[in-house]
A and B are shown apart, each in its own frame.
Chain A
Amino acid sequence: MAVASVPVLSARQLERRAEALLDLAVAVGHAAGPPVPVEWLVEHALDLCIVWDALPTDPDAPVLGGLDPVRGEVVLNDREAKRFAAFPGLESFTLAHEVGHWLLHVPPARRRQPMLPGLGRGQARPCAGGGSTATARREQQADTFAALLLMPARLLVPRCAGLDLSRFPARYKLRDEFGVSITAMNLRLRALGFGWFDEQNRYIAPKRARAAGGAVAVPHSLAGRAVRGEGAPATGCDSDAVRPPLTPALSPRGRGGPLSLPHRLTLLRV
């Protein structure tokens, strides 16, 4: 089996991996603020190639991109070009997601290694959506990594101070500043303890969320610490310690997958 086992990584460990990449970008002169130069990270820091190519996709579970570890390519799906154009933050998130797979799920020994003679040529194998628990876990880790890379707490939390995040303009301002989708931003804000957001991206105050049968994302005290930058929860996306149980109405799983983001394809030659 060519796919590596899913590493056990805490939210803090994932955050450190993402921060190390960000530090690299800053060290060579990129601005320390958002948006994070994810394209530069892919091409220069990791020496991966970006290519637009046609991947099999599905209207109900769109495949936005993939990773070819043998060629060292991050593939963006040509067939989803309209979706990328309609949602500008999607491209950055897809790139960051594949970076997550590259760093977390492709063992260094398998990176850019051609197939051994006699074993035949591998086939692209989808491993997203509806698969095993390990597959779902890998996808969730890649999504979490992407959120941490594009919306690091050290950049996002200070910018939340003084903003009324219950209002759309404040969150759209953050979305534009970080170059992500509003869904990704809402999920990250929720993970950082700034509140809940429903499927229409409306803010749900903690009391209302509780009345609806759900748990509050993070205690107010913790959210307050986050605003002051005194040890906010790392992500909330991948840590049971800070991740609340989700109500059916609010659960992203109920809407098709981890973090409600469209499924992706990871190309692994087996």
Chain B
Amino acid sequence: MAEAGFGEYLRGLRKSAGLSQRDLAARAGIDFTYLSKIENGRVEPPAEETVLTLARVLGAEADDLLGRARKMPRDLKRLVAAGSPEKALLLRRIAQTPMSAERVRRLLSLLEEAEEGKRDGSR
């Protein structure tokens, strides 16, 4: 089954929290008609700051919500700015590619294996 897009996921979180569109919009400091457009894919996901506020209000994982909004967290941006172009490319690809949780887990284990291989090689 396809992973829910940002709007659909956000609506699910809001409904699970027992909030109306007006309730959530008021708590997040945005217009409720704008929120309805976000939820129904009429507009692009909002700016990072708004996504973070929505995550906080809903008690959701900020990185999860940012990922669904195809937004790169600020700390990762800093990492990219300080790192190599290859790392930047890798992070950008990860941020822009819709991936299932399983696929993400596989990528993480690949990274861990690479890290272990590096350690083993250095002994």
Interface residues of B in 29-66 (CB under 8 A from A): 32-33, 36-37, 39-40, 42
Please, how many residues of chain A have a CB less than 8 angstroms from a CB on the other chain?
14
Residues on the A chain within 8 Å of B33, using CB: 52, 76, 78, 81
Residue A46, interface by CB 8 Å: no
Chain B residues packing against A (C-beta within 8 Å): 11, 15, 20-21, 32-33, 36-37, 39-40, 42
Contact (Cβ within 8 A) B20 A52: no
Which of A43, A44, A51, A71 contacts B37 (CB under 8 A)? Answer: A51
Please give me the residue from chain A that is nearest to B35 by CB atom.
Answer: A52
Q: Is B15's CB under 8 angstroms from A43's CB? A: yes
B15 touching A49 by the CB < 8 A rule?
no
Can you list 8 pairs linking A and B with CB atoms under 8 Å apart?
A: A40-B20, A43-B15, A43-B20, A49-B40, A51-B42, A52-B37, A53-B42, A73-B40
Q: Flag if B15 contacts A53 (CB, 8 Å).
A: no
Q: Which chain B positions have C-beta within 8 A of A52?
A: 32-33, 36-37
CB distance from B26 to the nearest CB of A (A): 14
Complex Cα distance A176/B104, Å?
52
A50, B15: Cβ atoms closer than 8 Å: no
Interface members, chain A 28-68 (any B CB < 8 Å)? 39-40, 43-44, 49-53
